[in-house]
């Protein structure tokens, strides 16, 4: 397994992983800092429910990152956003940069 080289992980985001809904609303895990490569560009992506939506940022994170759809993310500039989809990019042993692609609103 080959991960994204550490020297490319130039940005730090904070992820509060979505855990579901409770009696008092949505439930999130404690905030976790994540080193990543952040690409702040607007593009059309497909959400977990299959709907096309607009993403303003994409973070390329280590494969072990936990950021399911609905998770809250704080970007380096302090802007808060929500995960649209998290796509596992695993080469299955091929020499590719395995990572989690986190698409955000």
Rounded to whole angstroms, the Cα distance separating 44 from 53 reads 6
DSSP 33-45: EEEEEEE---EEE
Please work out, in degrees rounded to the nearest 5, the angle formed at the alpha carbon of residue 34 by the alpha carbons of 31 and 39: 120
pLDDT(1) > 70: no
Report pTM. 0.91
Q: What is the pLDDT of residue 48?
A: 82
Per-residue pLDDT, averaged over 15-25, amounts to 94
Q: What is the pLDDT of residue 95?
A: 82
Instruction: Record the tokens describing residue 104, joined without a space.
Output: 């955000």
State pLDDT tens for residues 43-92.
999 888 888 999 999 999 999 999 999 999 999 999 999 999 999 998 88
pLDDT band at 25 (very low <50, low <70, confident <90, very high): very high
């Amino acid at each position: 397994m080959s991960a994204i080289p550490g020297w490319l992980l130039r940005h730090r985001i904070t992820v509060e992983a979505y855990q579901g809904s409770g009696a008092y609303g949505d439930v999130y895990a404690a905030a976790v800092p994540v080193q990543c490569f952040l690409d702040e560009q607007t593009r059309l992506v497909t959400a977990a429910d299959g709907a096309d939506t607009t993403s303003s940022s994409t973070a390329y994170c280590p494969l072990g990152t936990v950021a399911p759809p609905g998770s809250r993310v704080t970007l380096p500039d302090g802007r808060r956003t929500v995960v649209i989809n998290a796509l596992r990019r695993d080469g299955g042993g091929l020499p590719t940069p395995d990572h989690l692609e986190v698409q955000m609103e």
